[in-house]
Structure 1
Amino acid sequence: MFVSVTRLRIRSWRFLPAFALLTLQTNRQVRAAAGFRAGSLLPDRHFTFWTLTLWDSAEDMRAYITAGAHRVAMPKLKHWCDEASIVHWDQPDTTLPAWSEADARMRAEGRPSKVLHPTAAHLAMAYASPRLSRAASIQPDARA
């Protein structure tokens, strides 16, 4: 199984409406994506949003991110975010990892993504521990 974790911090409230719309669209897209097994969305403090997804393979995840609403969102995030990072790993377990593991892996193995307006903390990946109590499950669409 392939695990993908992203962390995005939106740099201004003025980008939140468009980001929220694209989040709804990408959520619908991922639920129907081939190879998607489970996921979670974690809205955190200071306009920060995490995603945690479990896939059959890295190829399935790449097919998802290079199509549809996700492909539309990607270039906008460089401008909208002042912090962004990603981490991936393979695991034998078919269970979605805990958010505590996602955070630990992001800190130990993650890498910053390109943003046009980085904060001082962006490259150092120096962020506060996420507030884990607000996560929402994302499940595959039964019709997919």
Structure 2
Amino acid sequence: MHISLTRLRLRSLRFLPAFMVYALRSESQVRSASGFHKGSLLPDRKFTFWTMTMWDSAESMRAYMTSGAHKAAMPKLLHWCDQASVTHWQQDGDSLPSWEEAEFRMRTEGRPSKVLHPASGHTDLTFESPRLRPFKTIAKR
């Protein structure tokens, strides 16, 4: 299975309403995406949002990422976020990793995504440890 993990921190509360609209549209899109198995959303402190999704393959994840609501949201994140990072890995089994493992993977294997207004900690992934509860499960339709 292919695991995709993202971490986004909004640089201002003023971006939250529009971000939430795109997030809900992207969540709706992923639920019916070909190759998607399951996922989890973790709202963290300071307008930070983590997503973890499980896919048949990297190709099915990329097809989702480069289409529909998700594709429309991506350019906006350049302006909205001051920290953003991503990582991917392969694993056996059909269980999502724990959020503790996800944080470890992001710190050790992750890479920063492009943002126009980077904050301290963006480039070297020295962000605060996430608040691990509550999280939301994303199920396939």
Q: TM-score with structure 1 length normalisation? A: 0.97
Instruction: Specify the alignment match of 1:104 in structure 2.
Output: 104
Instruction: Specify the alignment match of 1:61 in structure 2.
Output: 61
The alignment yields a C-alpha RMSD, in angstroms, of 0.5
Distance in structure 2 (CA, Å) of the matches to 1:83 and 1:132: 18
The alignment-based identity, stated in percent, is 60
> After the TM superposition, which parts of structure 1 deviate over 2 Å for at least 4 consecutive aligned residues?
none
Superposition map of 1:52-91 within 5 A: 52-91=52-91
Instruction: Specify the alignment match of 2:123 in structure 1.
Output: 123
Shift of 1:64: 0.2
Distance in structure 1 (CA, Å) of the matches to 2:78 and 2:93: 33
Distance in structure 2 (CA, Å) of the matches to 1:70 and 1:32: 13
Q: Is residue 2:12 matched to residue 1:18?
A: no
Distance in structure 2 (CA, Å) of the matches to 1:140 and 1:92: 19
Give the match's secondary structure for 1:129.
coil
Aligned AA (2:129): S
Segments of 5+ residues of structure 2 without an aligned counterpart are none
Instruction: Specify the alignment match of 2:4 in structure 1.
Output: 4
Distance in structure 1 (CA, Å) of the matches to 2:126 and 2:3: 22
Distance in structure 2 (CA, Å) of the matches to 1:19 and 1:131: 20
Count of matched residue pairs: 141
Shift of 1:120: 1.7
Distance in structure 1 (CA, Å) of the matches to 2:90 and 2:81: 27
- CA displacement, residues 33-66 of structure 1 (integer Å, 9 cap, x when unaligned): 0000010000000000000000000000000000
Shift of 1:122: 0.5
Shift of 1:15: 0.5
Give the match's secondary structure for 1:121.
coil
- CA displacement, residues 67-122 of structure 1 (integer Å, 9 cap, x when unaligned): 00000000000110000000100011211111111100000100000000001210
Give the match's secondary structure for 2:60.
helix
Segments of 5+ residues of structure 1 without an aligned counterpart are none
Larger helix fraction of residues: 1
